Amino acid sequence: MPVKLGLVDLIAFGNIWKTAIQKLNKEISQCANNNNSKKEELKGYRDIMKAVEMAVVISEETSEEDKFKERDLDIKRHREHINKPDENGLILEDNFKDSEHPLKLVFGCAMWLTGFDAPTVSTLYLDKPMKNHTLM
């Protein structure tokens, strides 16, 4: 799981997401003045990306802090995001189920794959073959 967390950190908290937004900003600024529909379309994509909140959900393990620290990854930030209620007293799961909440993208590692009912979820990507599951 440390490798997955590292990849997610790059996407969500690193340069990949920010770079994509910067690329859209550049395309918007280079749009010809007579191409307002394309410009508005790009602005829409950019605004969605800027508004999206992301989270990582990982099953808790004994001695996980040491395991992640060995790979120069900080699990504490993600663990707090999973377990600590927000200013409204809601936890991550509650916010993800709320279609109006900006939390739109969750990277799940060994958790949330069964027993989780979120009608707003439209896509579930699996990165390994699954056996003996009851998801479908």
Q: Which range marks the domain in which residue 13 is found? A: 2-109
For the segment 118-127, the average pLDDT, to the nearest whole number, is 62
Q: Is residue 115 one of the residues assigned to a domain?
A: no
Q: Is residue 63 one of the residues assigned to a domain?
A: yes
Distance of alpha carbon 93 from the chain centroid = 13
- What does the pLDDT look like over 1-23, one tens digit per residue? 555 566 666 676 667 888 899 99
The pLDDT, as a whole number, for residue 113 is 54
Q: Is residue 129 one of the residues assigned to a domain?
A: no
Q: Is residue 123 one of the residues assigned to a domain?
A: no
Q: Is residue 82 one of the residues assigned to a domain?
A: yes
Q: Is residue 119 one of the residues assigned to a domain?
A: no
Q: Is residue 136 one of the residues assigned to a domain?
A: no
- What does the pLDDT look like over 24-47, one tens digit per residue? 999 999 987 778 899 999 999 999
Of 55, 52, 57, the closest CA to residue 21 belongs to 52
- What does the pLDDT look like over 74-112, one tens digit per residue? 888 888 888 889 999 998 888 888 888 998 888 776 656
The pLDDT, as a whole number, for residue 43 is 95
Q: Is residue 90 one of the residues assigned to a domain?
A: yes
Report the number of distinct structural domains present in the chain. Answer: 1
Task: List Cα–Cα distances, 4 to 1, 85, 120, in angstroms.
Answer: 5, 24, 24
Question: For residue 93, what are its two tokens?
Answer: 């799961």
Phi-psi region of 53 (alpha: psi -120 to 50; beta: other; left: phi over 0): beta
